[in-house]
Structure 1
Amino acid sequence: MARSRFLPDNFTLMLIATVALASFVPVSGAAAHFFENLTTAAVALLFFLHGAKLSREAIFAGIGHWRLHLLVFAVTFVVFPIIGVVLRPVLEPLVTPQLYAGVLYLCVLPATVQSAIAFTAMARGNMPAAICSASASTLLGIVVTPLLVKLVLPQAGDAQHNALDSIGKIMLQLLLPFVVGHLLRPLIGDFVKKNARMLKVVDQGSILLVVFTAFSAAVVAGIWRQLPLEALLGLLLVCAIILAIVLTLTTFLARKLGFNKEDEITIVFCGSKKSLVSGVPMAKVIFPSAEAGLIVLPLMIFHQLQLMVCAVLAQRYARRPEPEPVQPGVPGAKA
C-alpha cells in the first residue's frame, strides 16, 4: 500500500502514452496545422474555466498575508532561476545543452495551482493563503516568465519574437479567456463548480494535446536522434537535485523568518511547484514547435517528481498533533 505513493498516476501514464504516440505516429503538414488550432482552442477553454472557478472571496481572504506571498514569489521567480543559472556548470554535463535549456525554462515558470492547494489542504496548511498565492503566481507568470526566458535563455526561441511579443500572445491566449471566465463567474460559476469533472477533463486533455502537437513537431525534426538514454537519466537526476534544494530552502526560510506551521506548509508547497498547466501552453507560444518538445520534457519529469515527493511530505505534515484549543479564562491562555 505504501509503495503506491511512488507509482505514476493515471495522468502521468497518459502523458507517457501521448509521447509514445507522437513518437511513432507524428502529425505533419495539414494535420499538424489542425492540431495546432485545436490545441489553441482547448487551452483557451481551460483558462476560461479556471477563471470561472476562482472565487473572488478566496482571493481577498488570502491577499493580506503579504510576507508569505512575497517569499513564495521570490522563490518562484528569483531563487529558482538563480539555482538554474548558478548550478549550470555542474548540472549541464549531466544532460544535453538542449535539455538544459528546458531546465532553465522550468526554473522561470509560475507555481502550479491545483496540486499546491491540494497538498496544502492535505497537510492542514493555510488554505486561503495557498489559493491566493498559487493563483496570483499563475497570473504574474504570464508577464514575468517571458521576460525571464529572454534573460536566462537569450539564444532560445524564435529570434523574430521578443519578450513583449510573447507576453502579448500569452495574454491573448491565456489571460483574456481567464478574465472573461472570471467576469462570467456569477452566471456560470455554479455550473463549473458542479461539473468539476469537466474542468479536469479539459485540464488534462489540453495538456495532452499540447504535448502531442509539440512532440510531433520535435519527432519530425529528429528529437530522438539527438537524445541519448544517458541524457534522460541525467535529466531525472538534475530535476531531483533542483527539487531537493528548493524544498530544503523553503522549509528553512519559513522557519527562519518566524512563520507558523500552517504558513510553512503553504510556503513549501506553493514555493516548490512549477506549473505544467501554464508551462506547456507558454512553451508553445514562446518557442518554435520543433524546439517545444525538448523544452517541456524537463517540466514533465519535474512535475511527476514534485507530485510524488510532496505527497509524502503532505502526509508527514498531516500526522502532526492537532493544536490544543485555547480555553478562555485558563491561566496562561492568550486573550
Structure 2
Amino acid sequence: MFLRRFLPDRFTCALIVTVLLASLLPCRGTAASVFNVLTDLAIALLFFLHGAKLSREAVVAGMTHWRLHLTVLGSTFVLFPLLGLLLRPLLQPLVTPALYLGVLFLCTLPSTVQSSIAFTSMARGNVPAAICSASASSLLGIFITPLLVGVMLESHGQSGLNWGSIGAIVLQLLVPFVAGQVAQRWIGRWVQRNRSVLSYVDQGSILLVVYTAFSAAVLQGLWKQIPLPVLGGLLVVNAVLLAIALLMTRYGSRALGFDREDEITIVFCGSKKSLASGVPMAKVLFAGHPLGTIVLPIMLFHQIQLMTCAVLARRYAARPVELRCDGVGEGAI
C-alpha cells in the first residue's frame, strides 16, 4: 500500500507510452498536418466542456474569500516566476538552456482545476474556495501566462511577446470556454453526469499534443540533445521548485492568519501547474520552437506534484477533527 502511493497512474503511463511511440514512430508530412488539426479540435472541445461543467453557483459561493484568492494567484503568477528567474544561476547548470526555457514557461502557467479541487476535498479543506481559485487561475492564465512568457523570454535573451499569441490563445481556449458556459443551461447536467467524457477529452487532447510535439522534436534530434544526466537534473529542478512552493504556501498562509481549511486550499491550489492548459498554450506561444523541450518539464512536474500532493492530502486528512466554538467539527461540514 505504501509503494502504491508512488506508482504512476494510468494517465502517466499513457504519457510515457505516447513519448515512446513518438520516439519510435514519429508522425511527419501529411500525417503531422492531420494530427495538428485533430489536436486543435480536441483542445477546443476540451475547453468547451470545461465551460459547460463549471458551476456558476460554486464560483459565486467562493468569490467572497478574496484574500485567499489573491494569495493563490500571487503564488501562481508571482512566486513561481520569481523562483524561476532568481534560481536560474543555481538550477540552469543542471539542464540545457532549451530545457530551462521550458522550466520558465512552467513557472508562468495557471493552477490545475480538477486535481486542486480533488486534493482539497480529500484533505478536508475549503472546497468552494478551491473551486473558485483554481477556476479563476485557469481563466486568468489565458491572459497572464502569455504576458509572463514575454517577460521570461526577454530575461532569457530571446525575443519578447508576440501579441498575436494572445489572440490565438483567446480564440482557441477562451472562446470555446465561453461557448460552453452559454450552453451550460442545455448540456450542463449531461456533462456533470458524464464526467468520464470530459476526462477522456482532457487526457486525449494532451496525449495528441504530446505526440505531435515529441514527433517533431525527435525528428530534430531531441534525445541526442538530452542525455540521462540532464533528465536527472530536470527532475531535481522540478522537485526544488515544488518543494519551495509547498513550504511557502503552507507557512505563508499561516503567517497571514488563515485557518487550517484555507491553508489546505492555498497549498493545493497555489503549488500546482496545469498540464491541461500548459500543453496547448505551448503549442501556440512557442510555434517554431522545439516543443518537446518546452513540454517535457511540464510533464515531469505534473507527475511529481500528483505524487507529492497525494501524500500531503492523506496527512492533512488524518488530522484530528477540530471543534469550532459552535461545537461543530470542521470535518463534518
Partner of 1:305: 304
- My pick for the range that moved more, 259-268 or 280-289, is 280-289
Q: Which amino acid aligns with 2:201?
A: V
**Matches for 1:100-179 after TM superposition, within 5 Å:** 100-154=100-154, 162-179=161-178
Matches within 5 A, 1:1-335: 1-154=1-154, 162-288=161-287, 290-324=289-323, 326=325
User: Whole-Å Cα distance in 2 between the matches of residues 111 and 237 of structure 1?
Assistant: 21
User: What percentage of residue pairs aligned between the two structures are identical?
Assistant: 63
Q: What letter corresponds to residue 259 of structure 1 in structure 2?
A: F
Note the C-alpha offset of 1:324: 2.2
How many residues matched?
A: 327
Q: Please give the alpha-carbon distance, in whole angstroms, between the structure 1 residues aligned to 2:322 and 2:220.
A: 57
Distance 1:3 1:187, change over 3 A: same
Contact 1:158 1:287 in 2 (8 A): no
- Cα separation, 2, equivalents of 1:148 and 1:96: 21
Taking the aligned partners of 1:171 and 1:229, their CA distance within structure 2 comes to 37
Q: Determine if contact 1:150/1:163 at 8 Å carries over to the other structure.
A: yes
User: How far 1:224 moved relative to its partner?
Assistant: 1.1
TM-superposition CA deviations, 1:18-74 (whole Å, max 9, x none) = 000001100111110000000000000000000000010011001110000001111
TM-aligned CA deviation for residue 290 of structure 1:
4.8
Which runs of 5 or more residues in structure 1 are unaligned?
A: 329-335
8 Å contact kept, 1:218–1:289:
no
Q: Describe the SS at the equivalent of 1:154.
A: helix
Distance (whole Å) between structure 1 residues aligned to residue 294 and residue 72 of structure 2: 24
Q: Which amino acid aligns with 2:33?
A: H
Give the Cα separation in 1 of the matches to 2:290 and 2:57: 40
What whole-Å deviation, never above 9, does each CA across 1:148-170 have from its counterpart, x for those lacking one?
Answer: 111011388996x9442111000
Query: Deviations along 1:55-104, whole A, 9 cap, x unmatched?
Result: 10011001110000001111100110000000001000001111100100
Q: Aligned partners of 1:256, 1:26: CA distance in 2, in Å?
A: 50
> 2:57 is aligned with what amino acid?
E
> Once superposed, which parts of structure 1, at least 4 consecutive aligned residues long, lie more than 3 Å away?
155-159, 325-328
Deviation at 1:226, TM superposition (A): 1.0
Contact 2:123 2:314 in 1 (8 A): yes
CA contact (8 A) 2:120 2:264 kept: yes
CA shift, 1:292, in A, is 1.2
Q: CA deviation at 1:257?
A: 0.4
Give the whole-Å Cα distance in 2 for the aligned partners of 1:2 and 1:147.
Answer: 42
Q: Does the aligned pair in 1 maintain the 2:149–2:161 contact within 8 Å?
A: no
Matches of 1:297 and 1:123 in 2, distance apart? Answer: 29
CA displacement at 1:325 relative to structure 2: 5.8
Whole-Å separation in 2 of the counterparts to 1:22 and 1:325: 54
Q: Tell me, yes or no, if the aligned pair for 2:49 and 2:177 is still in contact at 8 Å.
A: yes
Matched letter for residue 24 of structure 1? L
Superposed CA RMSD: 1.5
Question: Structure 2: 5+ residue runs without aligned partners?
Answer: 328-333
TM-score relative to the length of structure 1: 0.95
Q: Tell me how far 1:323 sits from its aligned partner.
A: 2.2
TM superposition score normalised by structure 2: 0.95
Change (3 A) 1:300 1:157: farther
Q: Which amino acid aligns with 2:263?
A: E
Distance in 1 of aligned mates of 2:232 and 2:92: 13
Question: Taking structure 1 as reference, are residues 95 and 322 closer, same or farther at Cα in structure 2, changes over 3 Å only?
Answer: same
Change in Cα spacing, 1:290 to 1:157, as seen in structure 2 (3 Å) is farther
Q: Compared with structure 1, are the counterparts of its residues 148 and 50 closer, same or farther at alpha carbon in structure 2 (3 Å cutoff)? A: same
Amino acid at match of 2:103: V
